[in-house]
Amino acid sequence: MDPFQYQNSELFCEDVSVSALAEEFGTPLWVYSKAKLVHEYQQIQNAFAAVDPVICYSVKANSNLSLLKVLSEQGCSFDVVSGGELYRVREAGADTTKVAFAGVGKTDDEIRFALESDILMFNVESEPELDAISRIAGEMGKVAPVALRLNPDVDGKTHEKTTTGRKGNKFGMDIERHNELADKVLADPNLELRGIHLHIGSPINTTDPYRQAAEKALSVVRELRSKGHQTNWINLGGGFGLNYKNDEAPPASVYAEVIVPIIQEAECRLALEPGRSIAGNSGILVSEVIFVKYEGGKRFVIQDAAMTDLIRPAMYDSFHKLWPVNPSVPAPEDFEVEIENCSLADIVGPVCESSDYFAKGRSFPNVNRGDLLATFSAGAYGTVMSSNYNSRPRGTEVLVDGNEYKIIRRRESYEDLVAHERV
């Protein structure tokens, strides 16, 4: 299901013309499809239905309140990594009793806020964190639900900057410490061990790392129960793949085939924390060509969106499909090969950094000043990682629903840029 389709050389989001949106709201412009967001959530929910999963959408992938509200209305829950994200979940009107709270550096204020919100569980990443949660729960007269984050030492075979489940990175704890801390929880009346948490990294386009992680979780759960814990939850984190290029990511059902039998064997509830796979292909970033220049034997297409809007190419060398909104050449099946009637171009932003590019050496049609471009798969880790570097105001975000649309975040003004400063 792809809501972004060309009809007669015109890109649409559902039933709305993208160039009409750009005309009305200007660029850079984020365009999201409600139908796609809901569809991707439901795909996961349906794939894992046999174990009645709790899908905790990872708020860090895209935290816009309207998107959280859409997901919440579908019955989706949330995974947060900060007090700010928990605040957003509450502002979106969501039920916080199914929220998972991850992150290696939770502050006392954040822990207190989460306890006040009666969350499902803290994904605890270290002993000092466990001690802090116990102390604060004690002060508040509460019992804190925790899951210890196990570093399964599984290679997710993903980018160095996004792998999290291997020995030697900062996330979670190894099995020895996990078991020590579980003993500590058992002896602590302020804490209750609700389950185990693992998150391998992202994006993971194969199922084997999940099978390995789930099997580790199963053996740990058995051991915990033999010690007297009432452990009932396995949280396998997020990291499901996204089709950035073609069909490189397996559908949710393929992950489910591997994971569901192990969860059934463990007789546990399953929590998942997908972010990218729900939001990623629900959004595009629309930009306008400012100039085209030829230098050093190359063609540079300079657009008004930049690494300040979408940092993934600069940060992870990520590939995003990119094509004109009103193309003179039909969009190809494969964007990585040489395309007929196209020539090579670097598509870059105006920021004063060589890493400010969206595509390098890409086969691309002729475009001119004023033409609109669409960068696809921009719904996850786009706006949330944006900045005001170079004092660039962030663009408008629009949510499309059939033939209707509305602003879900207005464009920042120059006044917004200095609003928090004092002289």
Ligand X SMILES: *Cc1c(COP(=O)(O)O)cnc(C)c1O
Which active-site residues does the annotation give?
Answer: 352
Residue 102 lies near ligand X (rule: CB under 6 A)? yes
Binding to ligand X by residue 237, rule CB under 6 A? yes
Q: Can you give the length of the chain in residues? A: 423
Residue whose tokens read 């059939």: 402
DSSP state letter for 391? G
Binding mask 71-100 toward ligand X (x if CB under 6 A, else -) reads --------x---------------------
Stretch that binds ligand X, among 89-97, 196-204, 300-308, 357-365 (CB under 6 A): 196-204
DSSP annotation string for 193-240:
EEEEE---BS-B--SHHHHHHHHHHHHHHHHHHHTT----EEE----B
Options 36, 60, 106, 321; binder of ligand X; rule CB under 6 A: 60
Q: How many CB atoms lie within 10 A of CB 153?
A: 16
Shortest spacing between CB 230 and ligand X, in angstroms: 23
The rounded distance, in Å, linking the Cα atoms of 319 and 279 is 17
Contact map string, positions 304 to 343, toward ligand X, x by CB under 6 A: ----------------------------------------
- 155-169 b/e (C-beta count within 10 Å ≥ 16 → b): bbebeeebbbbeeee
Q: Which of 238, 235, 207 is nearest to 221 (CA)?
A: 235
Tokens of 166: 């291997």
The DSSP call for residue 173 is B
DSSP lists the bridge partners of residue 383 as none
Q: Which is nearer to ligand X, 117 or 363 (CB)?
A: 117
195 near ligand X, judged by CB under 6 A:
no
209 binds ligand X (CB under 6 A): no
Residue 249 and residue 205 in contact, taking contact as beta carbons nearer than 8 Å: yes
Binding region for ligand X (CB under 6 A) out of 225-233, 268-276, 371-379, 401-409: 268-276
| Half-sphere exposure for 359 (CA within 13 Å, toward CB) | 23
* Contact assessment for residue 124 and residue 147, using Cβ atoms and an 8 Å cutoff: yes
Interface with ligand X, residue 172, by CB under 6 A: no
x/- contact string, 343-382, with ligand X (CB under 6 A)? -------------------------------------x--
Pairing of the two strands 357-364 and 269-272: unpaired
Q: Which of 43, 58, 243, 363 binds ligand X (CB under 6 A)?
A: 58
CB of 63 to ligand X, least distance (A): 12
Considering the complex, what minimum distance in angstroms separates the CB of residue 307 from ligand X? 20
Please report whether residue 394 would count as binding ligand X according to CB under 6 A.
no
x-or-dash pattern for ligand X, window 111-150, by CB under 6 A? Answer: ----------------------------------------
Our CB check for ligand X shows the closer of 345 and 380 to be 380
CB of 149 to ligand X, least distance (A): 8
Residues 289, 335: contact at Cβ < 8 Å? Answer: no
83, 112 Cβ separation under 8 angstroms? no
Count CA within 13 A, CB hemisphere, residue 127.
Answer: 10
| 202 forms part of the interface with ligand X (CB under 6 A) | yes
283 is a contact residue toward ligand X (CB under 6 A): no
Give whichever of 14 and 79 is closer to ligand X, judged by the CB atom. Answer: 79
End-to-end CA, the chain: 51
Is the Cβ–Cβ distance between 327 and 339 less than 8 Å? Answer: no
**Shortest Å, Cβ 237 to ligand X:** 4
SS3 assignment, position 422? coil
Q: Near ligand X by CB under 6 A, which window of 112-120, 198-206, 221-229, 324-332?
A: 198-206
Which lies closer to ligand X via its Cβ, residue 156 or residue 349? 156
User: Which of 198, 302 has the CB closer to ligand X?
Assistant: 198
Distance in Å, CB of 269 to ligand X, minimum = 17
**Cβ atoms 54, 270 nearer than 8 A:** yes
Question: CB of residue 278 vs ligand X: minimum separation in angstroms?
Answer: 8
Assess whether the previous peptide bond of 189 is cis (omega < 30° from 0): no
By the rule CB under 6 A, 273 interacts with ligand X: yes
Q: Site for ligand X (CB under 6 A): which residue of 238, 250, 283, 395?
A: 238
Minimum CB separation from ligand X for residue 203, in Å?
6
118: left (phi over 0), alpha (psi -120 to 50) or beta: left
Interface contacts to ligand X, rule CB under 6 A: 58, 60-61, 79, 102, 199, 202-203, 237-240, 273-277, 380
